[in-house]
Structures are given as structure tokens and as C-alpha cells.
Amino acid sequence: MQAYYDYIKSLHLIFVITWFAGLFYIPRLFVYQIEASQKPSPDKEILGKQLKLMAKRLWFIITWPSAILTTIFAASLLILRPGILNDSWMHVKLGFVLLLFIYHLKSHLIYNQLQRDIIRWSSNQMRIWNEGSTIILFAVIFLVIVRDAVNWIYGVLSIFLLGVLLMLGIKLYKRIRDKNPDA
């Protein structure tokens, strides 16, 4: 099985990428669904139906299968190299992976609500939610590449700084959008 390690690692990375692609795009579809729900008829119904279909296909054809395959290949890698679980950076990485699963499951709850036309988030709140997966991705990449105990701490702190900058960017974009709705 060790001979297949690089192939399994490649498949793991491919499905991590497709999983994140789904997690990056699904909140954007949520934003569009929320905004479509505020449009007058018949736009509201036409857009709502199309966006629900797009979200369903993205969620169940790309995002969920990618999450499952990522997990299977990650478990395989850990079975092949169990010693890596002794590294402190791996503990932190697995903590962020847990956060990613929580983010994924919460997104699934939001998906289910929007499919039933239950809207509990504003489009601006959903734009902020959209940045959650980005922050987790940055944290995991820094941890995997840097691995040094001191440097990954700086990397994680940088992630929080990135989060602050993203929030400021969202607020700036909202101001621009409020002044010019076509932006």
C-alpha cells in the first residue's frame, strides 16, 4: 500500500480542491437566493427555482461527494503514515479540519432552509459566512507547508488578520453597493 501513497495523496488533494470549490460557491448561491426572494413576481419564482436547482446540483454532485472522498483518502494517508499524528502541527490542522466539517454541516442546514424558502440570513450576513471556508483554507495550507511550531503560530495569527481584512472588505463593498446598486 505504501507504493500507492503518492497516488492517494494526489487524490486527497484533488478532492480537497473540489470540496473547497463547492464550499466557496454555495454561499454565493445562498446570497443570490436570498436576494431573489426579495424580487417581485415572476422574477422571484423563476430565479428562486433556478437557484435552488443550481444549489442542489452543486451540493450533492460536487460538494458532499468531495467531502466524503477527501475524508476517505485522508484516513488512508493516516493509516499509511500513523507517525504523523505525533506532530503538533497535525493536531492543529485536524482542529481546523473539524472546524471545516462544522462549517460544512452548518452550510448544509442553511441549504435545507433555503430549499424550503426559510430565510434567516441577510445577503450581507451570507457574504460574511462565505469567508469562513477561505480562512480555514489559509490556516490549513500554512500549517501543512510551514509545520514549524513557531512559524505556524504566526501563520494562524495571520489567518485572523486575514479575517479582519476580509470583513473590512465586505463592509467597504456593502457601502459601494449601497451607493450604486448595480456594482
CA-CA-CA-CA dihedral for 165, 95, 133, 177, to nearest 10: -40
Residue ranges of the alpha helices (H) in 37-131?
43-57, 64-80, 88-115, 123-129
Alpha-carbon distances of 45 from 38, 41, 42, 49, 68, rounded to whole Å:
10, 6, 5, 6, 33
As annotated, the binding site includes 12, 93
φ and ψ of 14, to 5 deg: -60, -45
Cis ω on the peptide bond leading into residue 27 (within 30° of 0)?
Answer: no
**Residues at the annotated binding site for heme?**
12, 93
The DSSP call for residue 62 is I
